[in-house]
Amino acid sequence: MRRVYLDHSATTPVDPEVASLMMTYYTEKYGNPSSIHSFGQEAREALEKAREQVAGFIGAQPAEITFTSGGTEADNLAILGAAEAYKDKGKHLITTAVEHHAILETFEFLAKNGYELTVLPVDEEGLLSVDGVQRAIRPDTILLSVMHANNEVGAIQPVAEIGRLAREKGVIFHVDAVQSLGKIPVNVNDLNVDMLTVSSHKIYGPKGVGALYVRKGIRLVPRVYGGGQEKKRRSGTENTPGIIGFGKACELAQARMADEAAKLTGLRDRLMDGILERIDFVKVNGPRGAKRLPNNVNVSVQYVEGESLLLSLDMVGIAASSGSACTSGSLDPSHVLLAMGMPHEIAHGSLRFSLGRQNTEEDVDYVLEQLPKIVERLRRMSPLFDQMQREAGAK
Ligand SMILES: *Cc1c(COP(=O)(O)O)cnc(C)c1O
């Protein structure tokens, strides 16, 4: 059976070049980068090269990069670390309703522990209003966190403008760029950010590695104490092979980004237009065109359950998602779609296809061949669809 992986926003395969480089640092050059002998030194050199590769990809200085165990830890370090470091200046925090759980849950923890939190709404496309951000900022606001691109609907936020505003008002600005890295330009200076989160496994690097960019001069209280690695910001022996793999993945992504984005945009639109053409009662979620990530398709298929769609697609070899990987398994509809004003019953029938490096037009056409048949079969069993059709017929 054909197998088509369309869940690259959940994770990506490790690039073979990345994997083979990493293997060397597991089996041959396995020194601890803090050791002073030659084993340690060769690991240290490779680690610092990776730091340059990650920094170079986002326009930062190597000294501004702290490696972590992933995007989640980088988000936690940014928010908890800055909230603690700047608590004497104020205790008001701002974020948005469509953030990843690594952001939302962390802010909610702080809101239960003496901080005040404003959660900004988005419009029906999932986009934030810059005016809304401006109105939310108060004299005691210390931290603002806005994601660059949304992991469910691909909406790209006006981060550069928001950053300019934050800087004017003296508010620290953090951006989760896990989904945008490698797909659209991410530059910490163009985006006017103070801190920025990236993750390796979303860009064809290994899982369990990420980084937080922290602009020089921004203070941060560590969350992990110990041997003082990563300039005391994140103790613990570095995941050397993982970090080296992440560095290589950044180098490859930087070289390929322009070509890949153009190809993905073509596939995205072929899939989105094809679905709209072949299936009735379908709605595209998120913005169209340039405000959408080149690899994201998200649709609500009315009168069917997202979970049933996913299972049926899986049976014909197609891997998609009903929103974010983290919330699948739970039957709660996506917090992102609800924040965009979608009624519960429609949010339940939502599907995300996220395209990647290896996908082809044939993959897209296979989905366009299978999905309409699956939807038709599921709707035949749906009492809601039946009722809707009888009511339409009676008119
Ligand atoms: C995947 C993801 C994360 C979490 O990164 P991990 O490396 O998996 O911990 C954070 N934010 C966004 C937007 C993501 O898509």
pLDDT digits (tens, 9 = 90+) for 177-221: 999 999 999 999 999 999 999 999 999 999 999 999 999 999 999
> Binding site annotation covers 96?
no
Q: What is the dihedral of CA 97, 103, 107, 109, to 10 degrees?
A: 120
Q: Which residues contact 267 (CB under 8 A, 6 or more apart)?
A: 295, 355, 359, 360, 361, 363, 364
Q: Which residues contact 348 (CB under 8 A, 6 or more apart)?
A: 305, 306, 333
| Residue-averaged pLDDT of the chain | 95
- Determine the distance separating the centroid of ligand 1 and the alpha carbon of 69, expressed in angstroms: 11
Say whether pLDDT at 331 is over 70: no
Say whether pLDDT at 329 is over 80: no
Instruction: Clarify whether residues 316 and 232 are in a common domain.
Output: no
* d(C-alpha 205, C-alpha 61), whole Å: 21
- Give the largest CA-CA distance in the chain: 83
* d(C-alpha 293, C-alpha 146), whole Å: 16
Q: What's the pLDDT at 14?
A: 98
Say whether pLDDT at 267 is over 60: yes
Q: What's the pLDDT at 327?
A: 47
What type of residue is 5?
Y
Q: What proportion of the chain, given as a percentage, has pLDDT over 90?
A: 90
Instruction: Clarify whether residues 333 and 218 are in a common domain.
Output: no
* d(C-alpha 393, C-alpha 371), whole Å: 26
Taking residues 135-163, what's their average pLDDT? 98
Query: Do the beta carbons of residue 67 and residue 51 sit within 8 Å?
Result: yes
DSSP strands (E only) in 225-273: none
Say whether pLDDT at 273 is over 50: yes
Query: Do the beta carbons of residue 221 and residue 81 sit within 8 Å?
Result: yes
Instruction: Clarify whether residues 268 and 199 are in a common domain.
Output: no
> Binding site annotation covers 70?
no
Q: What's the pLDDT at 32?
A: 98
> Ligand 1 in contact with 163 (CB < 6 A)?
no
* d(C-alpha 84, C-alpha 197), whole Å: 18
Say whether pLDDT at 13 is over 90: yes
Give the C-alpha distances (Å, rounded to integers) separating 241 from 55, 95, 233, 245.
18, 34, 20, 6
Ligand 1: nearest atom to the Cα of 150 = 13
> Binding site annotation covers 237?
yes
Instruction: Clarify whether residues 39 and 153 are in a common domain.
Output: yes
Instruction: Clarify whether residues 380 and 249 are in a common domain.
Output: no
The domain total for the chain is 2
- Name the pLDDT band for 395 (thresholds 50, 70, 90): low
Say whether pLDDT at 246 is over 50: yes
Residue reference for tokens 């060397």: 24
Q: What proportion of the chain, given as a percentage, has pLDDT over 70?
A: 97
Q: Is 250 a catalytic residue?
A: no
Say whether pLDDT at 355 is over 50: yes
Phi and psi torsions of 141, nearest 5°: -75, 130
Pick the residue whose CA is nearest to atom 3 on ligand 1. Answer: 71
Query: At which of 253, 283, 306 does a domain end?
Result: 253
Q: Which among 255, 262, 326, 384 is annotated as catalytic?
A: 326
Write out pLDDT tens, residues 307-325.
999 999 999 999 999 854 4
Q: What's the pLDDT at 99?
A: 98
- Determine the distance separating the centroid of ligand 1 and the alpha carbon of 277, expressed in angstroms: 33
* d(C-alpha 4, C-alpha 53), whole Å: 31
The SS3 of residue 207 is coil
Pick the residue whose CA is nearest to atom 8 on ligand 1. Answer: 71
Instruction: Clarify whether residues 210 and 318 are in a common domain.
Output: no
Q: What's the pLDDT at 293?
A: 98
Give the C-alpha distances (Å, rounded to integers) separating 189 from 194, 195, 295.
9, 11, 25
Q: What's the pLDDT at 10?
A: 97
Taking residues 265-285, what's their average pLDDT? 97
> Ligand 1 in contact with 323 (CB < 6 A)?
no
> Binding site annotation covers 326?
yes
The count of residues in the chain is: 395
> Binding site annotation covers 145?
no
> Ligand 1 in contact with 178 (CB < 6 A)?
yes
Query: At which of 219, 253, 287 does a domain end?
Result: 253
- Name the pLDDT band for 328 (thresholds 50, 70, 90): very low
Instruction: Clarify whether residues 61 and 197 are in a common domain.
Output: yes
**Lowest-confidence segment of 258-262, 295-299, 329-333 by average pLDDT:** 329-333
> Ligand 1 in contact with 205 (CB < 6 A)?
no
* d(C-alpha 380, C-alpha 305), whole Å: 13
Instruction: Clarify whether residues 230 and 299 are in a common domain.
Output: no
Write out pLDDT tens, residues 73-128.
999 999 999 999 999 999 999 999 999 999 999 999 999 999 999 999 999 999 99
Q: What's the pLDDT at 326?
A: 43
Joined together, the tokens standing for residue 71 give 């995007």
- Determine the distance separating the centroid of ligand 1 and the alpha carbon of 145, expressed in angstroms: 14
Here the CATH number for the domain that contains residue 106 is: 3.40.640.10
Query: Do the beta carbons of residue 149 and residue 196 sit within 8 Å?
Result: no
Give the domain extent around 365: 4-10+257-394
Query: Do the beta carbons of residue 101 and residue 151 sit within 8 Å?
Result: no
> Ligand 1 in contact with 154 (CB < 6 A)?
no
Query: At which of 253, 280, 295 does a domain end?
Result: 253
Query: 200, 356, 332, 187: which is closest to 271 by C-alpha?
Result: 356
Instruction: Clarify whether residues 232 and 270 are in a common domain.
Output: no
- Determine the distance separating the centroid of ligand 1 and the alpha carbon of 383, expressed in angstroms: 37
pTM, 2 dp: 0.96
> Ligand 1 in contact with 285 (CB < 6 A)?
no
> Ligand 1 in contact with 151 (CB < 6 A)?
yes
Residue whose CB lies within 8 A of the most ligand 1 atoms, among 179, 293, 296, 352, for a mutation test: 179
Instruction: Clarify whether residues 129 and 193 are in a common domain.
Output: yes
Say whether pLDDT at 160 is over 50: yes
Here the CATH number for the domain that contains residue 304 is: 3.90.1150.10
Instruction: Clarify whether residues 168 and 284 are in a common domain.
Output: no
Instruction: Clarify whether residues 48 and 163 are in a common domain.
Output: yes
